[in-house]
Amino acid sequence: MLVLGLRYVVFLELFLQTAEKHFMVGHRVTYYVFTNRPTDVPRVPLAEGRQLVVLEVRNYSRWQDVSMHCMEMISNFSQQRFLLEVDYLVCMDVDMKFSDHVGVEILSPLFGTLYPGFYRAACEAFTYERRLQFQAYIPRDEGDFYYAGGFFGGSVVEVLQLTTACHQAMVVDRANGIEAVWHDESHLNKYLLYHKPTKVLSPEYLWDEQMLQRPPFLRKLRYVAVPKNHAEIWN
């Protein structure tokens, strides 16, 4: 089993500490951390059967490029080693922390997580890519859920197919000199619209208390955003 820490090495310590408390406790976990700063990866004590593997990747100057190239990185590493080493991939942004149990109940051949800002919105309000010339284009009258780019996964084979398809779509857009409105998330949403996930996680699994007031029916928040300042991290 696996988790990918993407982006932001500064958040890794809290991510790992809270993951050790709440994420797949009692199971074998490999944290694969993609980073361009391997020496900055913090040492966090891990329980037995859990390990951290740092995968060095190149950096990009824009966060959008880092985010988009993650699809390519996951696709590349899936072919090279994830297929051999783990059963499931859980791809997560690490500018987050766990605050309650996240266990094997999330696992399924292909799963996505509802984006917390849109879980009650009508589908016309979703920020899908609606421009026809884009690879991530979804017609106005189509769509069901809006998925978050920062938490998806499934079997390695399914994640390999998803990330490869998203990467190829981004290559086409780049060749046309265009970029989808929400970058990799737009491509994820297009893919999951036409390749239905076998499980959809509620916003309990991805919440942002700065952005949204917690509705009373969400009794547990399991994985929540850590307040951050984009400008500070990227400049």
Ligand X SMILES: *[C@@H]1O[C@H](CO)[C@@H](O)[C@H](O)[C@H]1NC(C)=O
Active-site residue set:
185
Stretch that binds ligand X, among 69-77, 95-103, 116-124, 210-218 (CB under 6 A): 69-77
Does 8 carry a binding-site annotation?
yes
Q: Tell me how far apart the alpha carbons of residues 170 and 167 are, in angstroms, rounded to a whole number.
A: 5
Location of structure tokens 């966090």: 44
Supply the minimum distance, in Å, between the C-beta of residue 204 and ligand X: 32
Please, what is the minimum distance in Å from the beta carbon of residue 37 to ligand X? 6
Q: Is 173 annotated as a binding residue?
A: no
Residue 78 sits in the site that holds ligand X (CB under 6 A): no
Shortest Å, Cβ 134 to ligand X:
21
Q: Which of 73, 86, 96, 225 binds ligand X (CB under 6 A)?
A: 73
* Strand-pair category, 2-6 with 88-93: parallel
**Given the DSSP bridges, would you call strands 147-155 and 88-93 parallel, antiparallel or unpaired?**
antiparallel
What's the gap between Cα 179 and its chain centre?
19
* 155 contacts: CB under 8 Å, gap ≥ 6: 87, 88, 89, 109, 110
Binds ligand X by CB under 6 A, chosen from 72, 93, 184, 185: 72
For the chain, the straight-line distance linking the first and the last C-alpha, in angstroms and rounded, comes to 34
Instruction: Scan residues 25-64 and list those touching ligand X (CB under 6 A).
Output: 36, 57, 59-61
By CB atoms closer than 10 A (0-12, 13-18, 19+), residue 105 is: exposed
Q: Which two tokens stand for residue 39?
A: 């020496």
Residue 36 vs 210, nearer CB to ligand X: 36
Q: Which of 7, 69, 183, 190 binds ligand X (CB under 6 A)?
A: 69
Is 208 labelled as part of a ligand binding site? yes
Which residues are near ligand X by CB under 6 A? 36, 57, 59-61, 69, 72-73, 76
Residues contributing to the annotated binding site for Mn(2+): 93, 95
